[in-house]
Structure formats: C-alpha cells, structure tokens
Structure 1
Amino acid sequence: MTLLYLIAGEASGDVLGARLIAALRARDPDLDFAGVGGERMAEQGFSSLFPMRELALMGLLEVLPRIRSLSRRMDQTVVDIEARRPAAIITIDSPGFTLRVANRVKPLGIPVIHYVAPQVWGWRQGRARKLGRKLDRILALLPFEAPFFTAHGIPVDFVGHPVLESGADRGDAARFRAKHGLAPDERLLIVMPGSRRTEVSRLLPVFGATLALLPPGIRAVVPLAGPVEEAVRAATAHWPRPPILVRDVAEKYDAFAAAEAGLIKSGTSSLECAVAGLPHIVGYRLNPITAQIVKRLMKVRFVSLVNLLAEREVVPEFLQDACNPATLAAALRPLLEGGATRARQLEGFADALGRLRPPEGTPSDAAAEAVLRAIGR
C-alpha cells in the first residue's frame, strides 16, 4: 500500500480531504491514508492522529493562549510523519498549522502538496516566494491563483472549487419545512457564524441581535460545524426565538432551498450560498489588533470569494465596526423583500461561479489526478 499523509485543520478542509480520499481511492485502491482530519474524513475510514477541532483557531491573539498545546500537536504530527515515511504529504488549508509542519518535514525529502492556495495574494504577497521552500506543489481552487504562484516559481494545478460538487443546489425546501413543522407564513434566514471558536464567539452575538431587528416571522436556521457545535448550541439556547439547528449537510442544503436570505461570515459558506442561489450578505469581525494588521497589508478590494471572482461587489460586505446589528438588518431587508436587489445578486452568482470550473471533470477529480501525477502513479 502507498501511504498518503493528509493534514486538515478545520471543517472546510475536512470536507475537501474526504472528497479527495474518495476520488483517489476510485482511481487507485492500493492507497492508504493517515494524518489529521475530522468527521467527514472519518466517514471515509480515515483515523485521525488527534481531534481536528483542536486546530480550529484563527488570529494571532486567539492562538497565543493555545500555543503550547498547538506546539505539542505539531511535534506529534512531525514525529508521526518521520515514523511513517509517506509517499507524499497533502496539507489542506489551515496554513498556520499545516505550513509549519511542511517546513519542519522538508528535510525528509517527502513531496509536500498544499491543497487550497494560501491567500498571500490578498494581503501578504511578499511571502509567496518563501512558500516555494516549503511546498513542492499547490492545488489551487481559484483561477487567478495559478498565474500568481507560477510567477513566484511554485508549480500549481488549478483544480477548481469543490463547492461546485457540494450539492448545495439540490436542496429540497418542502422536505425541510415538513420535517420541522413550519407554518406556511414562517420565513427562514440562514445564519452561518463560521467553523472556528473565535469566529462563533465574535459573530454569533452580533448575528443574534440582528435577528431581533428583522420583521416578525423570520426564523433563523443555523448549520452546525463539528468543531464549534457545542459553542453554537450554548450561544443560541437563550435567543428569544430558538433557531433551527442543522447538523447534517444534506439537511443544510434543504434549509438553503427553503430560506429567503442568508447572514454569512466570509469564506466558503458564501460560495455555498451562491451555488444554492441564496441571496445573502457577509459580516465579519477580527480581533481589532489583528484587523489593523490585515488592513495595512491587504491587497484586494473584497473579502467575499463571490466578489473576488466577479471582480465587483455582488454580495454586500460589512467588516469590523460595520458588522453591527442595525447595519446588517438594514442590508438584509431588501433581500427579504425580493425585487431588483435580489435579482442582481443571482445574476452575479452565475458570473462568479462560471469562473470556478476546472478544465475537465469535477474539482475533486482534478485534485486527485494532480496528486497521482505528483507521486508518479
């Protein structure tokens, strides 16, 4: 058996890892897998070295209190790689952890393939060339990433974005409404505060207060990401109107189909909504000190991937102080009312998503083919 070592650090990377494992096994049953992953990878028979939720952190000030624990987990990962000597290491997003591991194992001579290009093109362009000393190849999700990293001397495969094969556009609204016994006049709003504990603690109180300012009859649906499920349940337990909490991915997409709009943190969740044809707004907050650092270094106009792809503001973005209940509620009302604002978003979604497709097959197929080429199989 040829061993591939995968390292994912958050919910979205766990999904990518699971699909990649399935696509690789379909092509080569003589592959084995080890490393760090979550529930979705476990569904593929993957056994994680330690619970992935321990890595679901973001921001310098959030990481510092956990630095010793993270350092121990990094040591543990490096020792495991040294012992197993895999044919390749596939690090999946979560650059704060995965790229440090990549740097430490580089002397072993094992190829390191990074799945999801680090967003240095957005705010730390000077670091791109340094990545070439850690990584042997990048699997890029976004079309503009390939020329950027190639120009910095790093081999890149544009594989497309796996959100295209997520099934987000195949939800069943009637099934969701029937399951939860919703009255015909009950209207649904998708609320997605993120998959990291720091995101949930910072965004969910703001999102909850936003709901109180919306018209009567609006009920929240909150999809649960594994690493933060307990935190979300606790934070929403005392909302005046209990939200519908959704754990299953298929049910989440049913909720998308049944909802009228979304209040979303930036990232892959915005692309999911676009695939589902769900109009939404983006709200996001970082620790103020982290935010000031990012603001000074930022090289792009937008944080929403939909907007970056379309090269214009399709989805309204509200960051830091602008991410407040009054502003968010005012931006949601036109989407809930329908009309031209809603229609413009849907047109923009089609434009953005059309740029995400790989040259052939699905994104997971393209990623699997790139990995197999890299290890000579």
Structure 2
Amino acid sequence: MKLFLIAGEASGDKLGAALMAGLKSLAPGVSFAGVGGPLMAAEGLESLFPMEELSVMGLVEVLPKYRALKRRIAETAEAVAGFAPDALITIDSPDFCLRVARAARAARPELRTIHYVAPSVWAWRPGRAAKMAEVIDHVLALLPFEPPYMEAAGMSCDFVGHPVVAEPRASRAEAAAFRETHMIGPEQPLVLCLPGSRRGEVARLGPRFDEALIRLRDREPGLRVVLPTVRGVAPLVREMTARWPVAPIVVEETADKRAAFAAADLALAASGTVSLELAANRTPMVIAYDANFLTWHIASRMVKIDTVTLVNLVSETRAVPEFLGPRCRPGLIATALFELLENAGARGAQAAAMEVTMARLGEGGEAPGLRAARSVLAKLG
C-alpha cells in the first residue's frame, strides 16, 4: 500500500506522525511520500520540501507568498500523480491541501482522498463542507460533534479522537524538578506564556502578553513566567523576550515543555489547540487573540459562535475567559489572570470543564493515531 500525506504545520506533523505509526502497525509494508515535518520524517517520510513554507495564516498574511504557494501546489499535485498512491491523505492546512487534492483529482479522477481534521464549519463558513466534498471522500474528525456536518455535505466521516489525549505528560516529580531547576519556590505563582506557534502571532501577541504579565507581577511580585516555543519561531522569541521587563524562562526541548505545563499555576495562551494541551494538564487558562486588522474584520463577521476556545465548546460551558480582537488588551487580560489566580471557584469551574472535555475527546481509550489508521484502512477496504 502506498499513501501520499501532506501536513502544513506543527500540529499537522503530529497528527501525520501518529497516523503513520498506526498504519505501520496495522498494515506492515505501507510506504509513504509527501510533505511533512520532523515527526513525520522520523516515521519514514522524506518531505518534498520544508513544511515550514506552508505555515502561513490569515488572509492578508498569505498574499505576499501567494505565487510561491501556487508553485508548491502544482509541484505537490504532480508528485502525487507520479507516486500513484492508493490514497491522498491531506492533514489540516485546507487552503493548501484542498487545492492540491483538486489538482491531483483533475489528473487522476479515480484518486481516493481523505482529509484529517474536519473544517470548523460549525463556527464559520458552513459552505466549506460542500466545497470540500467536491474533492474529498472521507474525513477524520477530532471533535465528537463534527461527523454529522461532514456527512450532511456528502462525505463519510469518523470521529477518531483528539491527539491531545495520547500525548505524554510530565509527572508531579518532573514538575517539581522543573521548579527546582529554575529556582521557583512552591509558593511562587508560575504562569505559562503561549503567544502562538507562528511568527506573525508571536510578533503581534508577544508585546501585549508581556504588558499583561507586567501588570500581573505588580500584584504578584514573586511571579515567574515560562514561555515554551517551537523550532520555527524560537530565534524570534529569544530576541523579543530579551527586552521584556518580566524576563521569561524560554524552553524549547519537549521534556522541558511538558514539565512546564505540569508545573504552571495558570496560563495565558493564544486561541487554538493549545487550550486542549492545557486542559490535558488541568492548567487553568485565559485565552487571548488578535489578528491583522483586515483579517480580523472579515473573520469576525463570519463567526457563528460566541466562543472560540475548544474547552468551552467541547464541555458546553464558558468556563475559560477569552479576549479576542478589540478586547485583546493587556489591562483586561491582566485582571482576568489575577482573578483566576485568586478565585478558587473560577479554577474549580475550569477543572470541571477540563474533565468533561478530555473524556469527550477520548481520554482513556485507544490512541487517536491508531483509531485514525483503522478508519483509513476501513475506507480503503
């Protein structure tokens, strides 16, 4: 069996690697080609080009790179045709992946296509599902309420669980060791600062998060901050935070990041799947996000829901406070962080919402990568 996989960012690389591992265990001899990052490379994928070229987000942000992305779409579709896979599996990054699927299908109409991560049509642009159904046969969904939306558009869909439930977490001993290593006392508040995994997000949100943490430290003088980052933006993060009055501990190694998540008392994070990583570690959080003015202006008119935080959506609560767009202001954020730090009731409400969220995402069951592999093999017969 031959499969062509495409992932365009770090989260997709994780999904792809777990899926590849599951497929190898269930279908020995399977071979892969495509585009991916270091985790997929470790499972045997030789990427057609560096995955980081595709990690662009936002309507305005994409425009300067449009021609280069268009060339990569054509190159990738040509590679699919040359590899002649049993299926093309696209992983998230729909703006790139679905264009490749359309071009590959035009060259090979019989090509079977699977997309991993359902588009959030329950949040905005519901017409995306019908458009996706023109080029996708089957969808692997991360959230339990998504299959009906995909099936209504004409695709088959399986809920396979969210990968966050299978990710390793640091033990209490590792969390205590992290605090000891960085000389953080047991009574000192430790805050995770998570301004995103893309350069544009970090550059836009970083200064606001810094200002919010300065204000929080005025109320909590012993405050310490840790900022986990990823390979693609680590140099930018280190350069930017060197000028911050509240100098964070910047960690890049996976084990250090796990320990930081377990050791933290609360977190300030950009919206996205990181809220589920925090929920898996039962870390109370405040969510904040803003985008380029034009991108935000257009997107905010399309959104159909009153919260973008996945913990709130999956648990059907509004336990996690969020500050989006014009409300992404340091003063508001700092007040919410302080209230969360001081209010046991607010932390308890978040803890309950996190328990519900993780149970609904498949915590304690079969690993999502293996469930996704079973779904792929069942679809291919």
Question: Which position in structure 1 is the counterpart of 2:120?
Answer: 119
Distance 1:138 1:144 in 2: 13
- The partner residue of 2:333 within 328, 332, 340 is 328
Change (3 A) 1:106 1:121: farther
- List per-residue Cα deviations over 1:157-197 (Å, max 9, x = no partner): 11011110112464621121233343445431111111122
Using a 3 Å threshold, how does the CA distance of structure 1 residues 373 and 52 change in structure 2: closer, same or farther? same
1:268 to 266, 273, 278: 273
| 2:177 corresponds to which of 175, 178, 181 | 175
Compute the displacement of 1:46 (Å): 2.2
SS, match of residue 121 in structure 1: coil
Give 1:251 shift.
Answer: 2.0
Select 2:248's aligned residue among 231, 240, 243.
243
User: What is the distance in 2 between the residues matched to 1:154 and 1:163?
Assistant: 25
- Percent identical pairs in the alignment equals 47
Equivalent position of 2:371 in the other structure: 366
Q: Summarize the Cα distance change of 1:22–1:220 in structure 2 as closer, same or farther, 3 Å threshold.
A: same
More moved, 70-79 vs 271-280: 70-79
The answer to whether the Cα contact below 8 Å between 2:278 and 2:284 also exists between their aligned partners in 1 is: yes
Cα pair 1:42 1:48 within 8 Å, conserved: yes
After TM superposition, the structure 1 stretch with the greater mean CA deviation from structure 2, 321-330 or 100-109, is 100-109
CA apart distance, 1:203: 1.0
**Equivalents in 2 of 1:86, 1:148: separation in Å?**
28
Report deviation, 1:146.
0.5
Output the amino acid matched with 1:66: K
Q: For the residues of structure 2 that align with 1:307 and 1:65, how far apart are their CA atoms?
A: 35
Aligned 8 A contact 1:114 1:135 in 2? yes
What displacement does 1:278 show?
A: 0.1
Instruction: Tell me: CA distance 1:360–1:333, structure 2 relative to 1, closer, same or farther (3 Å).
Output: closer
Deviation at 1:34, TM superposition (A): 1.4
Q: Are 2:145 and 1:140 equivalent residues in the alignment? A: no
Equivalences for 1:156-167 in 2 at 5 Å? 156-167=157-168
More deviation, 239-248/4-13: 239-248
Confirm or deny that 1:79 pairs with 2:78: yes
| Correspondence for 1:65 | 64
Matches within 5 A, 1:188-199: 188-199=190-201
Letter in 1 for 2:99: R
Whichever residue aligns with residue 344 of structure 1, its letter is A
Amino acid at match of 2:249: I
2:307 to 302, 307, 314: 302
Change (3 A) 1:184 1:361: closer
Extract unaligned runs of 5+ from structure 1.
Answer: none
The answer (yes or no) to whether the contact 1:163–1:271 under 8 Å persists in 2 is yes
User: Would you say the 8 A contact 1:34–1:48 is kept in 2?
Assistant: yes
Q: CA deviation at 1:228?
A: 1.9
Amino acid at match of 1:246: V
Cα pair 1:170 1:253 within 8 Å, conserved = no
Q: Which residue of 1 aligns with 2:361?
A: 356
Q: Note if contact 1:271-1:306 (Cα within 8 Å) is conserved in structure 2.
A: yes
1:338: how far off? 4.6
1:209 counterpart residue number: 211
The answer to whether the Cα contact below 8 Å between 2:196 and 2:270 also exists between their aligned partners in 1 is yes
Q: Give SS of 2:319's match.
A: coil
- Contact 2:114 2:140 survives alignment (8 Å): yes
Within 5 Å, give how 1:81-100 maps onto structure 2: 81-100=80-99
State the distance in 2 between where 1:35 and 1:358 align.
30
Q: Is residue 2:283 matched to residue 1:278?
A: yes
User: Contact 1:168/1:273 (CA < 8 Å) preserved in 2?
Assistant: no
User: How much has 1:248 moved relative to structure 2?
Assistant: 2.3
Cα distance in 1 for partners of 2:339, 2:170 equals 23
- Matched residue, 1:7: 6
TM-score relative to the length of structure 2: 0.94
Unaligned stretches of 5+ in structure 2?
none
When structure 1 is superposed on structure 2, of 111-120 and 193-202 the one drifting more is 193-202
- In the other structure, the counterpart of 1:314 is 319
- Number of the residue aligned with 1:155: 156
TM-score scaled by length of structure 1:
0.95
**Preserved CA contact (<8 Å) 2:184 2:224:** no
Q: 2:3, 2:32 within 8 Å by CA — same for their partners in 1?
A: yes
